[in-house]
Structure 1
Amino acid sequence: MNAMERDLPHVKNLHANAHTANPRKALLGPKLMETLLGYVFLAPSLVLFAVFLFYPLIQTFYLSLHETDPRGRVASFVGLDNFTAIFTSERFYQSLGVTGLFTLLTVPTVIVIALLLAAFTHNPLKGMRIFQFIFSLPVVLSVGTSAVIWMMLFHPSVGMLNYLLQLVGVEPIAWLTDPRWALLSVSMMTVWMNLGFTYIVLLSGLQGVPDEIYDSAKIDGSGPVRTFVQIVLPLLSPTIFFVTIVSIIGAFQSFGQIHILTKGGPVNSTDVLVYSLYQDAFINFRFGTGSAQALVLFTIILIFTVIQFKVFERKVHYQ
């Protein structure tokens, strides 16, 4: 056996090791490039989140532990005194109760109305496109525009609502100046304002239900109401779950319509948590207390969201 034949196994082993190492290097390069490219595409979003979300959140937490002057500059460190003042304040619990009642008045109402409208208009019949367009219109209006429109409707002397009440022999109602009616009036406006978005989402969910399900239910002798309640609603539960969470978060964050229509009055009957926060921070210039209230509100919304995911998501039927 000559020297070349003796070295042949070593050469084969070297070639084998090279073939096993090279694929790793060949795969590592493209994978690293894909990861870097992904971070490059994510960079604008990460910058926006850092500037408009993460930094304000950190700054809010920092201010909540300090007392500030009217210019918002830190005056002294007070620790948890701002939180203690909130939880020992009668106004906080009153605002929390108003916010809870406002949420109960708006969220179930808008979901039920939007669900009924979507159920009546999701069939591809002639002329349904017009109704779908009309019911979706509120989504294109801003909070300010919607509030001004309803302020005209609620006007005590020239408003359309009181004019219609007079036609049927009912005394005019002080919609925005009577503590008994103010929150209900703002809730009516909020339901109308949120109806467009909720209707569009639920209509999209209904249109995603296959036609074969309706045909099978009809063959089995199921009527329209029974089909909708026992078959369609379970299939629509992920969409309803989504709009419920979004609507509750939106109700807790409502501010614009209350600021324009009632400014928290009369007699604090519409003084929700966000408006109370606004008054403390930007009217009374107590930015520390306002920041503490913002963190408390964030915690409340987070707790409600977690509870919904832990409890109510069990009843959601994903296809």
Structure 2
Amino acid sequence: MDKELSLSPPRHALTPSANEAEAAHVMSRTSIKKFRRREIFLAYVCLAPSLLLFGAFLFYPLLKSVYLSLFLTDPQGRVAQFVGLDNFKEILASDMFYKSFGNTMLFIILTVPTGIAAALLLAALTHNKLKGMKIFRFVFSLPMAVSVGTGSMIWMILYHPTLGVLNYFLSIAGIEPVQWLTDPKWAMLSVAIMTVWMNLGFNYILMLSGMQGVAEDIYDSAQIDGSGPLRTFFWITMPLISPTLFFTLVVSVIGAFQAFGQINILTKGGPMNSTNVIVFNIYQDAFINFRFGIGSAQALILFAIILLLTVLQFKFVEKRVHYQ
């Protein structure tokens, strides 16, 4: 028994010393730091292609626009003379700028609420799990697959004063044909109708996905409590999909400010500048009149306007959004 006890290691040999514990702790911290540095390096390697694309197609053009807005340029876009803030002063004193800004706001009023309301209505009608409903969902989503150029050409044919289908139906009803794209009273409305149709697919998919995210138990409980379809829609569905509505509103406003393709194809800013929005005005100054300094200054003003409106939407409209 004493021999066995003598062969066992001493108690102090089984317990590591304080120096050994501290050394192990330091090594553990060092390995954690190395692991974190390796993770950060790997993250930047994965983000490098995206950062490169953003730098080439977003940050560089933005900085170049800031630079060109302070100069007068020749037709080749080369800097000719430093003018400071004179380009901005000229824009803010121009009647055409305020005309284009008014047209842009009118375009937003005509397209954004109408587009969201139409998509919301179609999503509500096709949300039910009835037989054949997938066909309607596919049809209502189709405009998303149509490009701006293709859609504009389709509606240009529809709006044709003599060969267009719209005027043909008006003639059947005994109504005088409408000059959809050449009458200043109808041109902006015509472009707005085409834009609502073009954005309908995207808005519809957002609304339908938001409604499908609402639990069926909530609807069953509302039905048991005696809630009708309209009451259920306005008091249950609308609050629950308010994040989707808010996102659609912000994206639609930004997209309306940037509208260009359909206006360039259908009306080219006319007639009598009735559809000359800010983006088309920038295009005319920069690429038609070769005033790249003025065009860059207008682009920066448009950027500031969109940023301000987006911040205001997040500050005031988001308060009515229910995320839970």
**Band the TM-score falls in, shorter-chain normalisation:** over 0.9
- Report the 3-state secondary structure (helix = DSSP H, G, I; strand = E; otherwise coil) of the residue aligned with 1:260: helix
- CA displacement at 1:150 relative to structure 2: 0.1
1:232 aligns with 2:237: yes
| Structure 1 ranges of 4+ moved more than 4 A | none
Match of 2:52 in 1: 47
Match of 1:118 in 2: 123
Cα distance between partner residues in 2 of 1:128 and 1:173: 36
Match of 1:196 in 2: 201
Match of 1:245 in 2: 250
TM-score (norm 1): 0.97
- Report the 3-state secondary structure (helix = DSSP H, G, I; strand = E; otherwise coil) of the residue aligned with 1:222: coil
Cα RMSD between the aligned structures?
Answer: 1.4
Cα distance between partner residues in 2 of 1:185 and 1:224: 34
Aligned 1:256-271 pairs, distance under 5 A = 256-271=261-276
Matching residue's letter, 2:95 = E
Match of 1:90 among 74, 92, 95: 95
- Report the 3-state secondary structure (helix = DSSP H, G, I; strand = E; otherwise coil) of the residue aligned with 1:279: helix
1:211 aligns with 2:211: no
Cα distance between partner residues in 2 of 1:236 and 1:253: 26
Query: Considering only CA atoms, is the larger Rg found in Structure 1 or Structure 2?
Result: 2
Query: Over residues 250-298 of structure 1, what are the superposed CA-to-partner deviations in whole Å (9 max), with x where a residue is unaligned?
Result: 0000000000000000000000000000000000000000000000000
1:20 aligns with 2:22: no
Match of 2:280 in 1: 275
Cα distance between partner residues in 2 of 1:16 and 1:245: 57
Cα distance between partner residues in 2 of 1:118 and 1:13: 69
Match of 2:148 among 143, 152, 161: 143
1:65 aligns with 2:70: yes
- CA displacement at 1:25 relative to structure 2: 1.1
Total equivalences in the alignment: 314
Match of 1:56 in 2: 61
- Report the 3-state secondary structure (helix = DSSP H, G, I; strand = E; otherwise coil) of the residue aligned with 2:276: coil
- CA displacement at 1:76 relative to structure 2: 0.7
Residue range with higher mean Cα deviation, 220-229 or 12-21: 12-21
- CA displacement at 1:207 relative to structure 2: 0.5
Cα distance between partner residues in 1 of 2:16 and 2:312: 66
Cα distance between partner residues in 2 of 1:265 and 1:151: 14
Cα distance between partner residues in 2 of 1:71 and 1:36: 42
Cα distance between partner residues in 1 of 2:130 and 2:39: 48
Cα distance between partner residues in 2 of 1:297 and 1:16: 62
Cα distance between partner residues in 2 of 1:250 and 1:285: 25
Matching residue's letter, 1:138 = P
- CA displacement at 1:112 relative to structure 2: 0.3
Cα distance between partner residues in 2 of 1:28 and 1:81: 53
Match of 2:137 in 1: 132
Match of 2:290 in 1: 285
Matching residue's letter, 1:119 = A
- Report the 3-state secondary structure (helix = DSSP H, G, I; strand = E; otherwise coil) of the residue aligned with 2:17: helix
Match of 1:104 in 2: 109
- Report the 3-state secondary structure (helix = DSSP H, G, I; strand = E; otherwise coil) of the residue aligned with 1:43: helix
Matching residue's letter, 1:17 = E
Matching residue's letter, 1:282 = F
- Report the 3-state secondary structure (helix = DSSP H, G, I; strand = E; otherwise coil) of the residue aligned with 1:75: strand
- Report the 3-state secondary structure (helix = DSSP H, G, I; strand = E; otherwise coil) of the residue aligned with 1:310: helix
- Report the 3-state secondary structure (helix = DSSP H, G, I; strand = E; otherwise coil) of the residue aligned with 1:67: strand
Match of 2:38 in 1: 33
Cα distance between partner residues in 2 of 1:298 and 1:286: 18
Cα distance between partner residues in 1 of 2:55 and 2:172: 56
Match of 1:80 in 2: 85
TM-score (norm 2): 0.95
Cα distance between partner residues in 2 of 1:286 and 1:26: 58
- CA displacement at 1:13 relative to structure 2: 2.1
Inter-CA distance 11–152: structure 2 relative to 1 (3 Å threshold) = closer
Q: Which runs of 5+ in 1 are unaligned?
A: none
Query: Over residues 31-66 of structure 1, what are the superposed CA-to-partner deviations in whole Å (9 max), with x where a residue is unaligned?
Result: 111111011000000000111100000000000000
- CA displacement at 1:11 relative to structure 2: 7.3
- CA displacement at 1:124 relative to structure 2: 1.3
Match of 1:163 in 2: 168
Cα distance between partner residues in 1 of 2:34 and 2:283: 53
Match of 1:183 in 2: 188
